[in-house]
Structure 1
């Protein structure tokens, strides 16, 4: 469903009015609730989070946090992490173009839209305190979790670099010590067939084994209308196998060990994009469905990730606690990216990405009378490598870039909260990070179509190409990132807070360089917040945050003008500055026992204040008026209702949810054909629990109105002429491609546990 700009603006105004009206209605209902609260049996849930690396109530943490528990995600039918964006204001979590497992993450206008190796994300993803360094494989399926936390704003003091937008934390369940078994089977639209098996087995009184295995399968939402002979033609399909195994040992009441192993293999096809313009070089008109495509490359794709971690927790005494987290992870992602999405190899890029990392974190924490102290040391050693062969049919060549970026990082940090009086407290934190990077880039031009490995297509043997190293360089940076905050408890249930914090994203080399370029320096974000967290009554919760971000030294790859299209030149530098101001409001209202209303509102005004590049002669070019903040709508809104009721055949829970997302651009350089107009999603769920607690079943409908909305794209046009018509760009075609979110789907899940 497509809308015009005027319709979108009108809808935006209506929705703003609706959100204000909804808030007013809720507040008016509150007055009646105040009078009757002593008689009401309804009450707000206490939510515990670890946003500050210690267990606290959500309402006591002076950080803007959204927390989703396992039961809530089950009852809403949430199955993949990108659905979390609907519950968290000013948050973008979407599947990147080209694969089903690569993540595009933005929070408050800060993120990284290009998933190439060596680039650093602006939003950190963590699984049980282990940092996931690359976007490939980061679109995680939601199973065997206790909760997910979304921390908005820079988290540079406690979580370090690359969390300048925020952090997403996956917290898996600790074992109960009893024998447990759970199986969930799902069938749904597009021949969806999922099976999840989870359980735990006590091996002794204090030694436990846990497991979780999931196979997730679905046919494509569309198809490749033309593809190489013998290739699978499903597009937007799903074929995932994931497993996690855990050993827990409770040596005594003060000492705990946990070992985790996980592996995920995604064999879903490479994702084909929808041509927003007809090809001028071959017969590839716009398909009837946005999920249909064309490809001249193989359609297979693989994203494989694997990791291990060992966690040790030691309660030294009633005040002091020690924690160690040792982890290693690796990933392998060969992929086929058909940029032009036609039956011809106009602009095709077979590529492979690999990464591996080891990390070690030590924490020493203190909780005393009026004082809480979190401290630690962190070490990180990682390598991200890649190779791609961009075939340009018009010139009969493949432009190949390959290389690796090695990163070593060492950090120490401490953060203390001190009660100045019974009502007033302060938070002071500081982190020191030293980063060192070694970048190697090999750039070459190959005659004909090249592939990263022999056997990529039948009969292909990769030649032994000579090396052409354009970058072999090492750079290091160090940074102190502080946090200063004040918290004032107006009452036992209402807290006001204000804070200043800073975060930075690591410097990086340009893996697409065709000539020597020094590394771009780190990006810096200064964040200012004023907020309130209040359980105004036993039934009404209101959390609100006003924020301001100053973003400097933004890293961008910009094209340097060249007369020879067969030799595109790019440079990476700290060319941008931007700022952002916004509001985030989250409300929960328990109207009666079993009936709960929720809403979340996010607004942001984000814009570039400076973007500079250079021309081929090195002269400055001011691009400030041509850049916008990508993947960041001005307005997001969510409204939900949860109604639980009991019958003779068991308990039922109904969930209804509406999510609205305002207009947004997919790239910093906007194009009207790639712009996504505002849209709304309606999701409905009905879950049943048996009286004995062993059986459950859920019927879920997502995107009920079947909205079409873009989540990614490519723009390889040559811009527009004086008449506004598209000009051919790299590859000689008008390549403008869109990728889309899921259509309307239904699925039924049945679960059994004992």
Structure 2
């Protein structure tokens, strides 16, 4: 990440084999791992990728209030675990899990660092900046320390709203704090907190009818995503095992404004537009305890339990700005609330409880078998009240609807380690995610399912990790077959054209991943990652509109993904290091319902020159050197004359970064 000058998810996740970063509005971008996804954006139910911060779960059981874009400053590493991780990581990790590991307080000594960046994005009218700082303070030597990180970043907008006169300017502000207390050499108590706000003046979609970097609405479409995380962790070493207890709470809030004038029946008397606003507040609390063996013998084990509960409140408000008098002249007063003509309020609650564990045994020299699994029980329910001109004089109530699943997801692996330079493994694992209730009212003559259940997904994998030529060549390779059934999909209900969720269809995902790192001479490092993916439906669903056809490629599942990097360290003053990187992502369908509309299909080239002056590093960088316009993902062709609605990758960006570190 440091070599790439990464600032956010978009700068590094897409360079990992089998991982596609679907760049959207900051706070709403999604990650697809190994093609597991029925959409390239945020799922209406629980997403297929799990997100964690120092093992704290960040993925709620239903439609995501937001997906944190954890800033890379003072970030220790990012663990990307491909394939279902249900046995240890729980729900949502159907396709895999991403675990951000941030640095925590260190009582061994003082430390501090700063980072300042200025950059210019093509098609924007001004430069952006980033200012970040960290300080680590020992309070009691080797026992108590505090670490505080603060950051502020502004990215200039490059998508113009021709009607509202706004652009997608982005402001990201945050603070992170860590307190670590080590009263004895056996016990560590840690507190970690994070607050981050991602605020944009305009949603980052283009409407192709108005140009490659433009959209046009009467009203602006600002977005605001706030994240707040607090976690308390206890680690204690017994003579026979290590105990970890982790309690956390994370809160997410978002406010999304959408101009829906063109699709609203009220547009003929709405000169100031028709506005839809979504306010969502989610609070998730988790508690996990686990005990793991602490020895170097042939027998190792881990056992644990967890409980989480999530509460979400959503308000969707439709209004005519400056239109209170116009509404009052046309509709009954009981249906209105000032400028508001429709109001929907929902309360949702979910819980997950689980017991999990793994046992491994070296039953032959250099051969280890591992068996693990997770016994889980999930519950989710929703209540909805709707008021306004679309719901009659007394409104519409959807009484509590429930969804729930329980079961067991196993994991089996066999590993052969003949030397420290070679590991060959075979793996079979299963993943799961929450089911959700439907929220549409019943329709006479159509059997709308009350809820949809968890998917069923098995992953069968063979792979190897190896080092050759005294570490000058590293090769990792894997081949896998994923069998996905009862896919969670959204279908269109005949009669009223409302969408509902259900389990329908199946898919098969077969892939090969290869990662090679070579150091032919000391100053030069070459790396290349290649992924081939064949991800297609294996069953036709005729009840969908349009039908989902056997053989259709899954959305965003590019058949080829390639990432190459050349890193050269010059023997010269200031120790110049030049990094040139390339990424290729083949075309893939935008949605299951519109497989003829493609996204991706582009090459991206980046370059970075780093200069070191003892405690100060200066880097000159350029990303998307050719200023390639490419689509990350989208929502298909609009029926309102605005063309395709698309999220595009960031245009050419050039800038300079200055880092200072105390040690």
* Superposition TM-score, scaled by structure 1 size: 0.78
SS across alignment from 2:14: helix
Q: Given the alignment of the two structures, is residue 653 of structure 1 paired with residue 571 of structure 2, yes or no? A: no
Q: What stretches of structure 1 of length at least 5 have no aligned partner?
A: 1-72, 228-232, 278-285, 449-463, 718-727
CA distance in 2, matches of 1:647, 1:330: 49
Q: Does structure 1 conserve the Cα–Cα contact (< 8 Å) formed by 2:422 and 2:466?
A: yes
CA distance in 2, matches of 1:622, 1:111: 18
Deviations 1:221-251 (A, max 9, x none): 1321111xxxxx4422211111101111111
Change (3 A) 1:339 1:150: farther
Equivalent residue in structure 2 for 1:751, among 647, 650, 659: 659
Q: Given the alignment of the two structures, is residue 519 of structure 1 paired with residue 519 of structure 2, yes or no? A: no
SS across alignment from 2:364: coil
SS across alignment from 2:46: coil
Deviations 1:472-507 (A, max 9, x none): 122321010000111112434112111111011110
Q: Given the alignment of the two structures, is residue 551 of structure 1 paired with residue 484 of structure 2, yes or no? A: yes
Q: Given the alignment of the two structures, is residue 322 of structure 1 paired with residue 322 of structure 2, yes or no? A: no
Q: Given the alignment of the two structures, is residue 275 of structure 1 paired with residue 196 of structure 2, yes or no? A: no
Q: Which residue of 2 aligns with 1:356?
A: 283
Q: Which residue of 2 aligns with 1:689?
A: 612
CA distance in 2, matches of 1:514, 1:716: 29
User: How far is the alpha carbon of 1:528 from its aligned partner?
Assistant: 0.1
CA distance in 2, matches of 1:347, 1:613: 35
Matches within 5 A, 1:58-207: 73-96=1-24, 99-111=25-37, 113=39, 119-134=45-60, 135=64, 136-177=66-107, 178-189=109-120, 190-205=126-141, 206-207=143-144
Aligned residues: 623
Deviations 1:149-199 (A, max 9, x none): 111100011111110100001001133321111111111104111100111
Q: Does structure 1 conserve the Cα–Cα contact (< 8 Å) formed by 2:83 and 2:95?
A: yes
Equivalent residue in structure 2 for 1:578, among 503, 507, 515: 507
Equivalent residue in structure 1 for 2:180, among 248, 266, 269: 248
CA distance in 2, matches of 1:336, 1:114: 21
SS across alignment from 2:588: coil
User: How far is the alpha carbon of 1:607 from its aligned partner?
Assistant: 0.5
Q: Which residue of 1 aligns with 2:414?
A: 486
Q: Given the alignment of the two structures, is residue 260 of structure 1 paired with residue 187 of structure 2, yes or no? A: no
User: How far is the alpha carbon of 1:517 from its aligned partner?
Assistant: 4.1
Q: Given the alignment of the two structures, is residue 215 of structure 1 paired with residue 152 of structure 2, yes or no? A: yes
CA distance in 1, matches of 2:393, 2:294: 60
Equivalent residue in structure 2 for 1:505, among 410, 433, 451: 433
User: How far is the alpha carbon of 1:331 from its aligned partner?
Assistant: 1.0
Q: Does structure 2 conserve the Cα–Cα contact (< 8 Å) formed by 1:309 and 1:325?
A: yes
Change (3 A) 1:295 1:654: same
Q: Does structure 2 conserve the Cα–Cα contact (< 8 Å) formed by 1:587 and 1:600?
A: yes
Change (3 A) 1:339 1:644: farther
Q: Which residue of 1 aligns with 2:628?
A: 707
Q: Which residue of 1 aligns with 2:316?
A: 388
Deviations 1:588-647 (A, max 9, x none): 11111121111101011011112435489xxxx953259541111001001111112342
Change (3 A) 1:611 1:161: farther
Q: Does structure 1 conserve the Cα–Cα contact (< 8 Å) formed by 2:247 and 2:288?
A: yes
Q: Given the alignment of the two structures, is residue 432 of structure 1 paired with residue 375 of structure 2, yes or no? A: yes
Q: Which residue of 1 aligns with 2:619?
A: 698
User: How far is the alpha carbon of 1:671 from its aligned partner?
Assistant: 5.2
Q: Does structure 2 conserve the Cα–Cα contact (< 8 Å) formed by 1:351 and 1:388?
A: yes
User: How far is the alpha carbon of 1:513 from its aligned partner?
Assistant: 5.6
Q: Which residue of 2 aligns with 1:9?
A: none
Instruction: Please tell me the root mean square deviation across aligned C-alpha atoms, in Å.
Output: 2.8
User: How far is the alpha carbon of 1:657 from its aligned partner?
Assistant: 0.6
Equivalent residue in structure 1 for 2:216, among 274, 280, 294: 294
Which deviates more from structure 2 when the two are superposed, residues 503-512 or residues 426-435? Answer: 503-512
CA distance in 2, matches of 1:272, 1:684: 25
Change (3 A) 1:381 1:625: same
SS across alignment from 1:432: strand
Q: Does structure 2 conserve the Cα–Cα contact (< 8 Å) formed by 1:415 and 1:428?
A: yes
Q: Given the alignment of the two structures, is residue 338 of structure 1 paired with residue 248 of structure 2, yes or no? A: no
CA distance in 1, matches of 2:488, 2:388: 26
Equivalent residue in structure 2 for 1:670, among 585, 594, 611: 594
CA distance in 2, matches of 1:558, 1:447: 22
Q: Given the alignment of the two structures, is residue 531 of structure 1 paired with residue 463 of structure 2, yes or no? A: yes
Change (3 A) 1:526 1:137: closer
CA distance in 2, matches of 1:141, 1:465: 48
Q: Does structure 1 conserve the Cα–Cα contact (< 8 Å) formed by 2:38 and 2:555?
A: no
Change (3 A) 1:514 1:746: farther
Change (3 A) 1:701 1:486: same
Q: Does structure 2 conserve the Cα–Cα contact (< 8 Å) formed by 1:627 and 1:670?
A: no
Q: Which residue of 1 aligns with 2:327?
A: none
SS across alignment from 1:157: helix
Q: Which residue of 1 aligns with 2:532?
A: 603
CA distance in 1, matches of 2:371, 2:260: 48
Q: Which residue of 2 aligns with 1:367?
A: 294
CA distance in 1, matches of 2:161, 2:403: 44
CA distance in 1, matches of 2:318, 2:218: 13
Q: What stretches of structure 2 of length at least 5 have no aligned partner?
A: 121-125, 324-329, 332-339
Deviations 1:358-410 (A, max 9, x none): 001101000331122122111110023323356899x9997655413211110
